[in-house]
Amino acid sequence: MAERILGVLGGMGPLASAQFMMRLTLLTPATRDQDHVPTVLWSDPRVPDRSRGKIGGGDDPLPWLLRGVRGLKAAGCGAIAVPCNTAHGWYDEMVAEGLPVLHIVDAAAAALRQHTPRGTIGIMGTAATLAMRLYHDRFEALGWDCIQPTDTEMRDKVSPAIALVKANRVAEAYAPLAEMAQKLAARGAQSVVLGCTEIPLGIQAGPWQTLGIPLVDSIDALALAAIGWAKQ
């Protein structure tokens, strides 16, 4: 049925979109091809930088986002997943095109609730995601307290690590991201949300299981939300 075709608005970045497609496939309970989620991927890496578009005076990505949404709608998709956290700064404008958009923060909240139903949560993401309070506002309304890296830590650790993943230097991103997750845990975070879809790729390039803190992968969370939608 056309209304159960998932649209994926990707390319932000391309590696994160590829990871989303892989995780969507691996997390689907399936024994044959036909059990998987029919999906149309719109991967356009030409979309202007979302962080610069929000807080850096860069080009506006919205026209590019809407072109993708319209293309997916024309392809018969019934809902859209956007494996880019910062792009959700234009969530209302995308939804206004008439298709449901699965909100990545709501998906992360559902995943977080499984093991940390209350308490203090560390948020890692782009500078724009943090500045827009994409996670903070939704999480605080649900009863969690949020902490985040300092501006200096964003400049010296998180933002450069995200850039490394975008440059396909994934293994180099592990150390700064792992260090930041551990610092948030030391400050009281009971779980850390990887609220940029490049961050799980960097974290998983090293021994992330040894960090000693629950991590919420926003890629996996969105994939599970998409599977839930498709199987309704």
As to burial, measured by CB atoms within 10 angstroms (0-12 exposed, 13-18 middle, 19+ buried), residue 141 is exposed
Domain formed by 2-103+220-230, architecture: 3-Layer(aba) Sandwich (3.40)
- Which bin fits 13, alpha (ψ -120 to 50), beta or left (φ > 0)? beta
Do 147 and 124 contact (CB within 8 A), yes or no? no
Residue 118 per-residue DSSP state: S
pLDDT digits (tens, 9 = 90+) for 34-53: 999 999 999 999 999 999 99
Pick out the chain residues at pLDDT < 50: 1-2
Task: Write out the residue limits of the CATH 3.40.50.1860 domain(s) in the chain.
Answer: 2-103+220-230, 105-217
Per-residue pLDDT, 131: 98
List, in sequence order, every residue forming a beta bridge with 145; answer none if it has no partner: 120
Per-residue pLDDT, 160: 99
pLDDT digits (tens, 9 = 90+) for 53-72: 999 899 999 999 999 999 99
Is the domain spanning 105-217 CATH 3.40.710.10? The answer is no
**Would you tell me how many other CB atoms lie within 10 Å of the CB of residue 217?**
23
Per-residue pLDDT, 56: 86
Question: Whole-angstrom Cα distance, residue 52 to residue 34?
Answer: 41
List, in sequence order, every residue forming a beta bridge with 122; answer none if it has no partner: 147, 192
Per-residue pLDDT, 3: 56
CB contact burial 24-41 (16+ within 10 A = b; e otherwise): beeebeeeeeeeebebbb
Per-residue pLDDT, 1: 40
